[in-house]
Amino acid sequence: MTLKDIAKLSNVSTSTVSRVLNEDPTLSVQEETRQRILDIAKENQYIPVKKKIKQTYRMVLVHWFTREQELEDDYYLAIRLGIENACHEHGIQLDKIFKDEQTPKHSAYDGVIALGKFGSDEIDTMKKLGKHIVFVDSSPDESNYDCVVIDFEQAMNQAIEHLLSVGVKTIGYIGGREYTNSGQPIGERREQYFRSYFNHTFDKFMHVGKFSIQSGYLMMKEALAHKERAEAYIIASDPLAIGALRACYEAHVKVPEEISFVSFNDIPQAKFTIPSLTTVKIHQKYMGHTAIELLLERIKGRDISKKIIVSTKLMVRHSTRETKI
């Protein structure tokens, strides 16, 4: 017996039957008609089809930064917002563990999002939180875990080719070194690609410190103090570039007339610096959203690991020359 059958026997519409059986208080119908519908449903042992209850999941975000570190660099903040937005869209409950925060007692999460770079000991700890783990911005074990990373080769090619296209002959590099929370050094893909691309020709123009505005400022001061400097610098993050701009301003070195910059990430502040930064846009929020989609696929039964490589886009602004000189 269906709603359509009851409607036919009651000589009313299917909509009316549905509203009567669901006790819709806004329905205006004669009592005789209402009772006829109820009697027919009862006589035929009609059982209403209950709405399916949407499955809700509980996931945990494990961050390799402290809350304070995240505020200093918008890169990971944007990824986290993408994760949170995706969880909201899917009705997923999300817990968060920042660096140096106590791991929650709950240990049966449907999914674990590992944001940043982690050592083997930290990964072992994450395994205890849940079966499914996705790594965002790193890929420590692609054969066993899903990961979402950016296309570093594409990003570096975009930066280098743009500088060469506007007539730059010598290119330097300003970047940072990173370590896992257990002290393991992490290879910097941009730095490695730079050395390889130019076959170590421009190694003398390389400066590597920390990923911070202050470090960018100090490294640029060091570069400007050298007798010979590069015409342009690829800078591994926008905050580093902001520090470098300050150093140039203090030294009365004009950007881009005397020196050009291409940086990475395209944080909101990049378009408001003077001059505005030419930078490689990283789609951080999309990375976060993709991580949740991967976990949902795992929960539904996918057992083959996936590596998602997210493309980048060069945002040409005013920290690089416009044409060849």
Show me where the domains of the chain are located: 3-43, 58-150+284-312, 152-282
Which is more confidently placed, 322 or 148?
Answer: 148
The pLDDT tens digits of the residues spanning 171-203 come to 999 999 988 877 778 888 899 999 999 999 999
pTM for the predicted model, two decimal places = 0.80
Mean pLDDT of 300-323: 96
Note the pLDDT of residue 50. 57
State the DSSP H helix or E strand holding residue 69, giving kind and residue range, or none if neither. Answer: helix 67-72
Please give the structure tokens belonging to residue 324: 């060849």
Note the pLDDT of residue 71. 87
Q: What is the DSSP letter of 133?
A: E
Contacts 24+ apart (CB under 8 A), 76-79: 76/115, 76/116, 76/137, 76/284, 78/267, 78/284, 78/285, 78/288, 79/115, 79/136, 79/137, 79/284, 79/285, 79/287, 79/288
- Spatial separation of the C-alpha atoms in residues 44 and 134, rounded to whole Å: 51
Note the pLDDT of residue 55. 66
Note whether 58-150+284-312 and 152-282 share their fold: yes
- Spatial separation of the C-alpha atoms in residues 229 and 226, rounded to whole Å: 6
The pLDDT tens digits of the residues spanning 36-81 come to 888 888 888 777 765 555 568 999 999 999 999 898 878 999 999 9
Domain 152-282 has CATH 3.40.50.2300: yes
Q: Domain 58-150+284-312 belongs to what topology?
A: Rossmann fold (3.40.50)
pLDDT > 90 in the chain, percent: 73
| Average pLDDT of every residue of the chain | 92
Note the pLDDT of residue 29. 84
What backbone phi and psi angles, to 5 degrees, belong to 63? -100, 135
- Spatial separation of the C-alpha atoms in residues 108 and 87, rounded to whole Å: 17
Please give the structure tokens belonging to residue 9: 């026997």
Q: Is the peptide bond before 140 cis (omega within 30 degrees of 0)?
A: no
Neighbours of 51 (CB within 10 A): 6
3 state SS of 301:
coil
Note the pLDDT of residue 168. 97
Note the pLDDT of residue 42. 84
Residue 13 is which amino acid? S
Residue 233 has pLDDT above 60, yes or no: yes
The pLDDT tens digits of the residues spanning 93-137 come to 999 999 988 777 667 899 999 999 999 999 999 999 999 999 999
Note the pLDDT of residue 1. 67
Note the pLDDT of residue 102. 79
